[in-house]
Amino acid sequence: MSPLLMGDPITKVTEIDKRPDVAALTSVDGIDPIDPATRSTPVPGDLLEELLRSGPEHALERVRSGRVPAGFSLQRLGEGAAANASLEEGRRPAFLWAETAIHAFDLVGDEERAMALRTLLVTRFGPEARSLSDPEPVMDWLKRSVPLTPDELVERARDWKEKSREEILKLRQIKNRLSIVARLAESFPECVDDETRGLLDVRQQLP
């Protein structure tokens, strides 16, 4: 299940080259960059590995039942299940992995990831009411999380470079959310109402 199957993201990796003086940066706030003890290795997580390898039915049943040990990372399970959902070619396994991921994201309050995954399902399998590929929850989420008219958004984005970091960050977060819906609008414009289309038109004016 290589991510390369979904396109060729390697072309979009940007490497910021090491500048000469970076090598001299051997200690930053007590962290020695060459100390192996500070290295982060991929987290093994036996149960997580088991759930992600055992098939979506088992993983979904487990996350639904809440039978996970203390310290188990639902976020990691959600991200792993979402990755599986994006790589599965079959509709049923993709939906089961997606349901697992969305359930896990709901439990940890990561609504944006859940909506991005729903949008992916809509664009891959088509809009279908009352299913995981129903665009309605995505549109509702956008209206809840960006409660602005297009004119209000234009006004808020005006001269954004003069605004505080906090305000620029809020505008960027709006842009991130709009980008999720923009994918949906590209594939299925009929799913997007005029108000939302107006917000999407403002997207390029945001930081």
Chain residues in the site for other proteins (CB under 8 A): 3, 6-7, 9-10, 12-19, 21-23, 25, 28-31, 33-34, 38-43, 73, 75-76, 78-80, 82-83, 86, 113, 116, 119-120, 123, 161, 165-166, 168-169, 172-173, 175-176, 179, 183, 207
Tally Cβ neighbours within 10 Å of residue 55.
13
Q: Report DSSP state, residue 28.
A: B
Q: How far is the CB of 175 from other proteins (least distance, A)?
A: 7
- Residue 117: C-alpha distances to residues 80, 112, 162, 199 (Å): 12, 9, 34, 21
By beta-carbon proximity to other proteins, the closer residue of 18 and 144 is 18
| 90 Cα distance to chain centroid | 21
Tally Cβ neighbours within 10 Å of residue 201.
13
By beta-carbon proximity to other proteins, the closer residue of 3 and 151 is 3
Cα 29-34-39 angle, rounded to 5 deg? 85
By beta-carbon proximity to other proteins, the closer residue of 60 and 180 is 180
Q: How far is the CB of 158 from other proteins (least distance, A)?
A: 16
By beta-carbon proximity to other proteins, the closer residue of 16 and 194 is 16
